[in-house]
Amino acid sequence: MISSTDTLTASSDAPTTAAQQSTLTSSAASITVSSDVPSATSSSVTPTTSSSVPPTTSSNVPPTTQPKPSSSTSSAAASQPTSPQVDQQTYLDLHNNLRSQVGMPDLQWSDDLAAKAQSYAEQCQLKHSDGALGPVGENLAAATGSFDALQAVELFVQDQFAFNPIQLNLNHYTQVIWRSTTQLGCGMATCGNIFPGDGDATYHVCLYDPVGNIVGEETLVHTVFVC
């Protein structure tokens, strides 16, 4: 079972948002993707960030299916999170490779963001923080079986080709490449309670600062795709 979700939160002067969520189930796997993306209206926003804790938003992001790993019964002990070694260079290189493809400057690793991401991952709740982590963007992904940083980032950006620079349908991918975002921090944990009955899941949390996908800053991605 594979699930990806991203949460983006803007500051108190950012626009309001609307919530949507889609779930796609195939015979091979079950994938849920939700993304918090600010709408074109104004007010305060909280797709998962904000110093004053604004509201959250979601948009439909068509996921791709992957084979579901063999499931196993999780025990009470398995529900206790463990913290695998975080490969910060892999997270950073993957993000910066994607950004360089569209002419965006490199991100820098933030130990502060990484500490927040690690703490949040260890809570083993695959849901948005609703502003509890402060004014940052969030991308979250979890899956049973083998699920490393490369696979997590690939899941974050699988909606890359769904992005329309004219419609500016902001999503997981646009947070990854958002020009004004300069810092990245990620954490991961092994959790036994995210997908009950399917065994342990590896849960990845990446945080971005400043938060992206802010309505009014669309040109930060628009100019990359439109001459």
Per-residue model confidence as pLDDT tens digits over 56-74: 333 333 443 343 443 332 3
Q: Which domain holds residue 173?
A: 17-23+31-65+74-225
Domain contains 54: yes
Domain contains 131: yes
pTM of the model: 0.64
Please report, for the domain that includes residue 158, its CATH number.
3.40.33.10
pLDDT tens, residue by residue, 102-136: 999 999 999 999 999 999 999 999 998 999 999 99
Total structural domains in the chain?
A: 1
Percent of the chain with pLDDT over 90: 46
Domain contains 4: no
Instruction: Using pLDDT thresholds of 50, 70 and 90, give the confidence band for residue 179.
Output: very high
Mean pLDDT, residues 78-107 taken together: 85
**DSSP result, 23-48:** EEE-SS-EEEEEE--B-SS-S---SS
